[in-house]
Structure 1
């Protein structure tokens, strides 16, 4: 079936999301590994992505692990340094699709407040035709419910949706719903996929 909408994940597709890299630079790899072994920071972030309060969730976790209090608080206080930089070619692809009249959606695990903050740093997050942000939906990928909610809202057949995400589990869940999907491992590969689907020319895709 012809693609009727292209759906972008945000973290590691449009914006790099690398907390471990930031901690390595600030506290060193050994301390980072020790902290992540003791504290489920990604699990904490899932609570935020499900709609939990941004600062409160992080600061409450920090109090549970006083040994790592200052470092855990960095997840909030230095969050934008973990969620950076933007991936220029992916942004160019988003805009090229829109110029061709292809509807472009976002589907991302993202907190309510952290996404609002990201919008102030990355104005292009306002360029999507539709945005599906997990914090507002109170469900996160790869839960099948979030994909079903997208289908119900946009009204498009699952097989007409092309989704790019950097996580295999999220891609697998989308494919189980009948979506077409691309595992994002770099913007060049995503550009080639969009060309292969006939959505962009090589010139449009920067290839």
Structure 2
């Protein structure tokens, strides 16, 4: 079946994300920096901002656990822009190729509301699709089945004709459980092969 709808994740599919980048300067010690990103401002801690928790609450919660690292905790949000240094040009070219070929393309992302708007300003291609579901706006995060249902309902997607692309296997599995097809993103070259195997038009993907 030719897919009518293609849904892209954003972080680590279209744009690079790495909190270590600014924190190599902020916390030069490898051991202390790893502790900070594993235990203080961890992935799970940050995910709550993707679920809609305000940064002020997030900072207060982390400072209550580690008051000795208050300045480093506050530095996380201030330096967020440095954590997304560049886009994956190959993935962006594929996104444009699909749009140019008339394929319906939308975005479904775990992202805090405010940082997503910053990302759109920094990476204008994030405004090129028909629309986006931002987890922080609706207080649902992947892989919760409800966020896939919300996205399909919001954009009138037929699940059996929808193809989802994400770097996270749990998110990919949840999309399949929702009745979508899904591709586990590895890198842009593999994505191009996978999209072509699905019968999607990616020939024009040389465009920057």
Q: Same fold (TM over 0.5)?
A: yes
Deviation at residue 62 of structure 1 after TM alignment: 4.5
2:7 is the alignment partner of 1:3: no
Distance 1:37 1:120, change over 3 A: closer
- Which sits farther off after the overlay, 180-189 or 60-69? 60-69
Alignment root-mean-square deviation, CA: 1.7
Would you say the 8 A contact 2:7–2:105 is kept in 1? Answer: yes
Poorly superposed stretches of 4+, deviation over 3 Å: none
Q: What SS does the corresponding residue of 2:11 show, helix, strand or coil?
A: coil
Alignment match, 1:143: 144
Deviation at residue 38 of structure 1 after TM alignment: 3.1
Equivalent positions of 1:20-39 (< 5 A) are: 20-24=20-24, 26-28=26-28, 29-39=30-40
Deviation at residue 138 of structure 1 after TM alignment: 0.9
Deviation at residue 205 of structure 1 after TM alignment: 3.2
Alignment length (residue pairs):
204
Quote the Cα distance in structure 1 between the aligned partners of 2:17 and 2:186: 13
Q: What SS does the corresponding residue of 1:135 show, helix, strand or coil?
A: helix
Alignment match, 2:59: 59
Structure 2: 5+ residue runs without aligned partners?
none
The normalised TM-score by structure 2 is 0.91
Alignment match, 1:166: 167
Q: What SS does the corresponding residue of 1:71 show, helix, strand or coil?
A: helix
Distance 1:118 1:101, change over 3 A: same
- Which sits farther off after the overlay, 136-145 or 68-77? 68-77
The normalised TM-score by structure 1 is 0.91
Distance 1:37 1:194, change over 3 A: closer
Quote the Cα distance in structure 2 between the aligned partners of 1:190 and 1:184: 6
Quote the Cα distance in structure 2 between the aligned partners of 1:38 and 1:95: 38
